[in-house]
Amino acid sequence: MIKFAKWIITLAITVSICTGCGDKMELDQLAVVVAIGIDQVEDSEDFEVSFQIINPHGASARVATEGGGSEDASVFTFTTRGKTLVEAVDLAKNIAPRRLFFSHMYYIIIGENFARETGINRVFDFVERDQQMRMQFLAFIAKDTTAKDMLSVFTPLDENPAKSVRDRVMVASGSLGISGHLTLADAIRAYVKEDHHPILLGLRNISSENSDNTEVLSNIDEHSFSLDGLAVFKDDKLVDWMNTQESQGWVFLNNLVKDRTIFDTKCEGGYTGVRVHSLNETVKAAVKNGKPHFTISLTGKGYMLETSCDLDIGDPEDFKKIKEAVNDELRNEIQMTIDKSRELGFDVVGFSEWFHNQQPKKWKEWEGDWFHHLQEGEIVLNVDIDLTNTGMRFNSLNEAK
């Protein structure tokens, strides 16, 4: 009996060890997906899903070849269709010789027609149910084009287009200077939160013809993407776009600035360029005369990068004029965002959250008709950006003559 018991124990241990390796996948059996594109097929109920996958042969060939002379791209893209997103993903098995692996995705891009007609709730549902997708990847809307078109563009400087997009977002997201609110998880949180609406970055194709050819990798001229404004959603459907100034105002209002340069601040005789940093925001929500009242105060510091103004920077009064011009420019951008919200007919900025947190009793009374009350309310903007540095020189070269 003792020998039989030992045999049973040995068998159980052996079986448990063996079953631990039964479902393993080797690296050469996986296709690492770095980006996904989702489109609505025109005049059809079908969805089109594009997959951008690392090409290990292309990547290794470039490393092995002096000067990067390999003709193989570092990624390749293919497309499938289905009545559901999961069907399109499943059909990829007929094309890809390896199992798709989604845990290292850089971003997901959604075609503008899909975002307008179908709505991104379908994307939310699909992604949240998938065990591999971490949802912390970036999310974009393909502006004036399809996601498939965007994933077909090769980029110079970085042979992996998906990494190229990710990296330019990491570099302060272009001129917006936005530091967050860019992932699919952020969009989902805004969607499920009361009286909030998803905001996603737009991505535009600025490539010339034949940019889907790997030959463009040797030519930087007009073969790339451009971050282009913010896509505004009502519930889960795209309704409009903010232009650059409105987008910048939204970023400032939501205190998401990482680093931002104002390139076109008008001043006497020209323009001045100032980089704003150390930005602080306070918002006070109150009720005055039976209406919402907001006081938004933005303070921060900036330093001058360039000037063509006909002003003596060494003169305190002239320098004050430049500072006032910078503050006016920022104030105008924020006001443009507020005006855009009023034009669209819903709270794009997020005033509801400030009011809810600071005036909870009144919020319960007004939440059913919040935007009507917001339209009648008053918004006061106080902007005070202090210029603390003029760079490596004081006056302009013209003044030095």
**186/147 same-domain check:** yes
| Within-domain flag for 233 | yes
pLDDT of residue 73: 66
- Would strands 260-267 and 270-288 be described as parallel, antiparallel, or unpaired? antiparallel
Query: What pTM did the predictor assign?
Result: 0.80
- Output the pLDDT for position 318: 81
What was the pLDDT predicted at 180?
63
Integer Cα distance of 7 and 277 in angstroms: 71
> 76 with 208, same domain?
yes
Q: Which of 217, 242, 267 is the last residue of a domain?
A: 242
Residues 203 and 227 in one domain: yes
Tell me, what's the pLDDT at 66? 39
Q: Concatenate the DSSP letters of all residues of 85-131 into one string.
A: HHHHHHHGGGT-SSEEE-TT--EEEEEHHHHHHT-THHHHHHHHH-S
Question: What is the per-residue pLDDT for 104?
Answer: 85
Residue among 363, 340, 361, 345 nearest 353 (CA): 363
- 342 found inside a domain: yes
Q: Provide the pLDDT for residue 94.
A: 84
Same domain flag for 235 and 315 = no
Phi-psi region of 229 (alpha: psi -120 to 50; beta: other; left: phi over 0): left
Can you name the residues that pair with 306 across neighbouring β-strands?
A: 273
- Gap between the Cα atoms of 152 and 73, Å rounded: 12
Residue 56 located in a structural domain: yes
Q: Is residue 362 one of the residues assigned to a domain?
A: yes
Residue 178, C-beta contacts closer than 8 angstroms, at least 6 positions apart: 172, 201, 251, 256, 257, 258
Maximal C-alpha separation, the chain = 106
> Do residue 233 and residue 339 come from a single domain?
no
Which pLDDT does position 221 carry in this prediction? 42
Determine how β-strand 291-307 pairs with β-strand 378-389.
Answer: parallel
In a domain, 7, yes or no: no
Q: What pLDDT is attached to residue 321?
A: 84
Which residues share a beta bridge with 47?
A: 40, 82
Give the end of a domain, one of 242, 274, 308. Answer: 242
Which of the residues in the chain have pLDDT under 50? 4-5, 7-8, 11, 15, 22, 60-70, 211, 213-214, 216-222, 392-394, 396-401
Supply angle C-alpha 204, 212, 108, rounded to 5: 45
Residue 247 belongs to a domain: no
CB atoms within 10 A of CB 86: 15
Report the chain's terminal Cα–Cα distance, integer Å: 106
pLDDT at 171: 64
Q: Alpha-carbon distance 310 to 313, whole Å?
A: 9
* 51 shares its domain with 151: yes
pLDDT at position 235: 87
- 68: containing domain: 27-242
Asked whether residue 145 is domain-assigned, the answer is yes
390 in the same domain as 288 = yes
- Report yes or no on 292 lying in a domain: yes
- How many separate domains does the chain show? 2
